[in-house]
Structure 1
C-alpha cells in the first residue's frame, strides 16, 4: 500500500466516522462500509476510531450511552471494554468475528463524546476541520 493510498484510507475513515457522529450518515451505512473492508484494514480502522474516541476524552458514562446507541449487548466484549473506568483500548486485537461489534461500539461512543465536546469546548467555534464537514 502506498502512502497516498494510506492517507486516502484515513481520510475516508475520518469522513465516515465523523459523518456518523454528526448524524449525516447512519451507523448502519458505516457498518456496511466497514464490513466491505479487508480484515487487515478493519484492524487499522478500529485503531483509528479508537484513537478518535480517546482524543474525544471518552468517559465511562460516554461508554454506557454509546453502547445503548450502538444496539450492541452490554455484555459483548467491546461493550464491556469501553464501559470500564478508564475505558480500555485494544479493539483491533479482538477476534475478527468481533470487529463489526467493536466498530459499532467505538463509533457510537465517539459520537456521544464528540457531540458533548462540540456542545461544550467547541460551542463558540474551533479549529477542528471535522466539525465543519463539507455539505
Structure 2
C-alpha cells in the first residue's frame, strides 16, 4: 500500500548568475550529494526565517565567495519537483550583478557557459524548466 505520509518540501534558493558576456555560471554537484555528479545553478537551502533574497545572498557568498546585494536578486520562477526520495521547491532568481570572482569554495568545479550550450550539460530533472526559461529569455 502506498504511503500517505507527505514528504517535507525542501525550499532551495537558486541563482542564475550571469556575467557581462551573458554567460551563465554552473557548478558540478559533489558525487556523494543528492543528484551528485550533475551540473546545477548555484544556491542552497532556505533556512527557517530567511527570505529568498537573504538565503541566496548567503549561499552565493558561502559557495562561490561572491557578494550580491539582495535587491539584485530578480525573481525568475518557482519549480516544485518530487524526486521520489526528496521533494524540492526551487525558488530561482537572476543574479546579473555581483562583486568578486566566483570560485568553488566547497571544491566544486565551476564553468561559465553560453546559454546555447546549456543542453550540453546534465542537470537534475528539476532544472529542466530553468534551462528552458533561460534559453527563452
Q: TM-score range by the shorter chain?
A: under 0.3
Q: Which structure dedicates a bigger proportion of its chain to helix? A: 1
TM-score w.r.t. length of structure 1: 0.27
Q: Which structure dedicates a bigger proportion of its chain to strand? A: 2
TM-score w.r.t. length of structure 2: 0.26
- Highest CA radius of gyration, 1 or 2? 2
